[in-house]
């Protein structure tokens, strides 16, 4: 247990750090932001607890899934179930707005600077808040993009319209079979554009943005 004195010291230390950070930010010519899951959690995109129970109660009951992150690794028995989960997962974490304006506030602090963002987040919050896409490198992919499962080519595809259809038309945690997305080039099933293994597709934008980050080295 933390004593009152220690808690006070920690708070003072925290406030001192914030003041220092503000000064540094004010003086900096360029800012490199590194962001992980904690930033989206602070914006209200929590992956467990009440939010998860409210959004995925049916999946919890049927499949005993413990949180949203774990659901991404569940061994679904059919593509209809796989896409019922993923379309809801994508919809609530990518297309709905974050409950708190954390990303917008961060942008207001750096928008007049030469900034660049390196993030492992895949929920598109930086772009939704107005960060310049050319100043972002989302190393692990984006919930809003699909790629060929194979993959037969280095292309990614925006999924918003199809995701909305899947969310609206799913019944009993299954989407209609005709909504299963397929690669327009080879006809194989699509999959998420997330860096899980060596089949991850990086389109031209990813290469350009990685080059953009080099000036900070």
154: three-class secondary structure by DSSP? coil
Binding-site member from 117, 183, 192, 201 for Zn ion (CB under 5 A): 183
Q: Is residue 110 a contact partner of residue 130, using CB atoms and an 8 Å limit?
A: no
Examine residue 21 and tell whether it contacts Zn ion (CB under 5 A).
no
Torsion of CA 201, 196, 57, 50, to 10 degrees: -100
Binding-site member from 186, 207, 208, 210 for Zn ion (CB under 5 A): 186
Examine residue 180 and tell whether it contacts Zn ion (CB under 5 A).
no
The C-alpha atoms of residue 44 and residue 33 are separated, in whole angstroms, by: 20
Look up residue 189 and give its DSSP letter. B
Binding-site member from 7, 19, 21, 185 for Zn ion (CB under 5 A): 185
Nearer to Zn ion, 152 or 173 (CB): 152
Listed ranges 52-60, 122-130, 186-194, 197-205: which one lies at the site for Zn ion (CB under 5 A): 186-194
The least distance separating Zn ion from the CB of residue 193, rounded to whole angstroms, comes to 13
- Residues in a beta bridge with 205: none
The number of C-alpha atoms within 13 Å of 199 and in the hemisphere containing its C-beta is 12
Contact positions toward Zn ion, by CB under 5 A? 148, 150, 152, 183, 185-186, 188
């Amino acid at each position: 247990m933390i004593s009152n004195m220690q808690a006070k010291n920690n708070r003072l230390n925290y406030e001192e750090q914030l003041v220092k950070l503000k000064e540094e930010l004010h003086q900096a010519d360029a800012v490199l932001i590194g962001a992980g899951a904690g930033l989206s959690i602070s914006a209200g995109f929590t992956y467990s607890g009440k939010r998860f129970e409210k959004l995925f109660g049916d999946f919890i009951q049927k499949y005993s899934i413990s949180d949203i992150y774990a659901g991404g690794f569940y061994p679904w028995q059919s593509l209809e179930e796989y896409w019922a989960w993923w379309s809801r997962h994508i919809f609530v974490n990518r297309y709905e707005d974050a409950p708190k304006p954390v990303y917008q506030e961060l942008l207001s602090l750096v928008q007049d600077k030469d900034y660049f963002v390196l993030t492992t987040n895949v929920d598109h919050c930086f772009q939704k808040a107005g960060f310049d896409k050319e100043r972002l490198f989302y190393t692990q992919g984006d919930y809003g993009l699909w790629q060929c499962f194979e993959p037969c080519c280095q292309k990614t595809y925006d999924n918003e319209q199809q995701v909305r259809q899947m969310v609206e038309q799913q019944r009993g945690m299954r989407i209609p079979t005709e909504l299963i997305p397929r690669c327009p080039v080879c006809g194989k099933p699509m999959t998420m554009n997330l860096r899980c293994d060596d089949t991850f597709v990086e389109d031209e934008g990813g290469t350009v943005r990685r080059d953009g980050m080099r000036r900070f080295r």
